[in-house]
Chain A
Amino acid sequence: QQQVKQSPQSLIVQKGGISIINCAYENTAFDYFPWYQQFPGKGPALLIAIRPDVSEKKEGRFTISFNKSAKQFSLHIMDSQPGDSATYFCAARKQGGSEKLVFGKGTKLTVNP
């Protein structure tokens, strides 16, 4: 049973466009929702994270939108750049459940120049 469902699997965007990646979850015990960015040949790295008590968090060109009632959250990349080309993973952590993260299956983003 996949606990965090991520879509799309792949995404191609033109330079300057907006990239949107969506995730959905079922477990209401999740209390922390990070996004990780992974470049080829590297390990994932934390990009931005949100807790369910806020509906939006912005850091530079990256924004997380969170809809608690729909149990969905999304990553928006504004003014997408070729350097943003990477695989993006959403994840979730259960409250009181150590630091164990459940990851989505990932989205491979390609930003064309």
Chain B
Amino acid sequence: NAGVTQTPKFQVLKTGQSMTLQCAQDMNHEYMSWYRQDPGMGLRLIHYSVGAGITDQGEVPNGYNVSRSTTEDFPLRLLSAAPSQTSVYFCASSRFGTGINYGYTFGSGTRLTVV
């Protein structure tokens, strides 16, 4: 009963490097999403997916790519890291049409620093 697992927990990148943040859920949730959290900015949606093979852009998609080949996995790729992408990244998942008391399940986050 792992819930949403994010790896790595911490990462330091040099400007221009690429990397993939991993997200996996074992709850058979259809909906998955990536947020970034910055001080004073709250949680901003990067990309989301409503099922395998279907992805769409959120509020701040530039510089990030996603794919959803399986229900369980939703990796986030940074194409060419920039200091502005220094942030804490959260993956979240949810069922569709849920009751009012069933919300998102968030991972524990990836703290990324780009130098």
Contact = CB atoms under 8 A, between A and B. Distances in A.
Interface stretch (A12-20, A65-73, A76-84, A97-105): A97-105
What interface size band does chain B fall in? 20 to 34
A46 B104 contact: yes
B42 A46 contact: no
Contacts of B40: 9, 105
B101 A101 contact: no
Given A34-B103, A45-B106, A89 B96 contact: no
Interface residues of A, number: 24
A36 interface: yes
Contacts of B92: 43
A86 interface: no
Interface string B78-95: 000000000000101011
B42 A44 contact: no
Nearest to B51: A98
Nearest to A59: B101
Given A50-B100, A103-B42, A43 B108 contact: yes
A44 B106 contact: yes
A32 B42 contact: no
Contacts of A49: 100-101, 103
The winner among B4, B44, B50, B94 for most chain A CB atoms within 10 A is B94
Given A6-B42, A43-B109, A99-B95, 13 more contacts: A43-B107, A44-B43, A44-B90, A44-B104, A45-B106, A46-B101, A89-B43, A98-B31, A99-B31, A99-B98, A100-B45, A101-B45, A103-B42
Interface of B: 4, 31, 33, 35, 40-45, 48, 50, 58, 90, 92, 94-96, 98, 100-104, 106-109
